[in-house]
Amino acid sequence: MGGTLKIPLSEANMEHVSVLKNDVEKLLELKKGEIVVDATLGLGGHAMMLLKNVGKTGKLIAFEQDERNLKEAKKRIKEFAKEVKNVFYISDNFRYLKKRITEIGIEKIDAILFDLGLSSPHIDDSNRGFSFLNDGPLDMRFDERNPLTAEIVVNEWKEEDLVKIFYEYGEEKYARKIAREICSHRKAEKFTSTLQLANFIEVTVCGGIGKRWKEKIHPATRVFQALRIAVNDELKALSDALDQAAEMLNIGGRIAVISYHSLEDRIVKQFFKELQQPQVTMEESIYRNHGDPIFEPITRKPIVPTDEEIEQNRRSRSAKLRVYKKVRELPQS
């Protein structure tokens, strides 16, 4: 199954509809001349809007760890703003935000956007192994320069580590059973393809060949989410980047995060909850329970796509946008 010939997605077929673009634009309140970071460039849809808002005197710093998306976005942005010279492209993981931005001589930023997770070309190209709608290799890397693939995780990781990721990153209630069966099966046959793994999980969860899953969500969905998060170390990268973004923002600067599953959203919510009610210093502790807020929420509740947006772009359906404004410097550590 793993050897099936695959046709790569052509550049002409690369499409991604930017999610909640108008809301991001409205809530970031960018001004001409500001420095804005797009931490997840994708195909550049949000970036072009950000660039338009900061104008010729502003700067856009764009991170993208997928080489193909970066190349395509560069082409589109060049086309969109022919004479722009104020865009810095960084072909790296946003977890190196501070290091990579200071390397280009910039210390502080005015706004940053994270539009997390996958872009449509990742799902549409079965060669990337993110989806099991069509067969493809068990890959799932955003950054193909990284050595760790889903195939390595599934075939080589210890059973208890698989249980842990299926449970923690997939919130999969059959984590133990699926991990046990995978580890037993792989002794005889390696897992190499997405459909092979998805079908195996379906049989494992449904209790036998020929019995099929009847619910809306395929039983492999959560395991695929878990593998993707593990392969790309997504949650740790997000926590690391939030720390650095909070530090690098100017006072009055804003951060917008669009997340697509509850694990990401929880990290964002918890991170800013602590900065809205930071721990007290020794002096403050005599009078109060917490220090002055460092960030204030611009969105009390997350913004979600309208029915109309979901109808036009099904992939936006799980999106949640949260925006916060920095109101005070972080205490020196």
Ligand X SMILES: C[S@@+](CC[C@H](N)C(=O)[O-])C[C@H]1O[C@@H](n2cnc3c(N)ncnc32)[C@H](O)[C@@H]1O
Which residue ranges make up the site for ligand X (CB under 6 A)?
Answer: 16, 18, 40, 42-46, 63-66, 69, 93-95, 115, 117, 119, 142, 237
Least spacing, CB of residue 160 vs ligand X, in Å = 26
Least spacing, CB of residue 73 vs ligand X, in Å = 7
CA distance 285 to 280: 6
CA distance 326 to 111: 10
Please identify, using beta-carbon distances, which residue of 34 and 66 lies nearer to ligand X. Answer: 66
Please identify, using beta-carbon distances, which residue of 163 and 227 lies nearer to ligand X. Answer: 227
Please identify, using beta-carbon distances, which residue of 43 and 112 lies nearer to ligand X. Answer: 43
* Residues comprising the chain, all counted: 333
Please identify, using beta-carbon distances, which residue of 201 and 241 lies nearer to ligand X. Answer: 241
Alpha-carbon distances, residue 200 vs 190, 195, 240, 273, 310 (angstroms): 12, 8, 35, 41, 31
Please identify, using beta-carbon distances, which residue of 70 and 178 lies nearer to ligand X. Answer: 70
Please identify, using beta-carbon distances, which residue of 53 and 65 lies nearer to ligand X. Answer: 65
For 114-150, the DSSP string reads EE-S--HHHHH-GGG---SSS--BS---SSTTSS--H
Least spacing, CB of residue 166 vs ligand X, in Å = 21
CA distance 125 to 119: 11
User: Which residue's C-beta sits nearest to ligand X?
Assistant: 42
Least spacing, CB of residue 328 vs ligand X, in Å = 27
Task: Name residues whose C-beta falls within 8 Å of residue 305's C-beta, 6 or more positions apart in sequence.
Answer: 19, 20, 313, 316, 317, 319
Task: Name residues whose C-beta falls within 8 Å of residue 138's C-beta, 6 or more positions apart in sequence.
Answer: 2, 129, 149, 150, 151, 154, 191, 192, 193, 194, 197, 227
Please identify, using beta-carbon distances, which residue of 65 and 204 lies nearer to ligand X. Answer: 65
Least spacing, CB of residue 331 vs ligand X, in Å = 27
Alpha-carbon distances, residue 219 vs 166, 202, 319 (angstroms): 12, 6, 22
Record the tokens describing residue 198, joined without a space.
């998805």
With vertex at residue 327, the alpha carbon angle to CA 260 and CA 108, rounded to the nearest 5 degrees, is 80
Tell how far CA 299 is from the center of its chain: 20
Least spacing, CB of residue 76 vs ligand X, in Å = 9
Least spacing, CB of residue 259 vs ligand X, in Å = 10
The three state secondary structure string of 179-207 is HHHHHHHCCCCCCCEHHHHHHHHHHHHHC
Please identify, using beta-carbon distances, which residue of 42 and 302 lies nearer to ligand X. Answer: 42
Least spacing, CB of residue 196 vs ligand X, in Å = 25
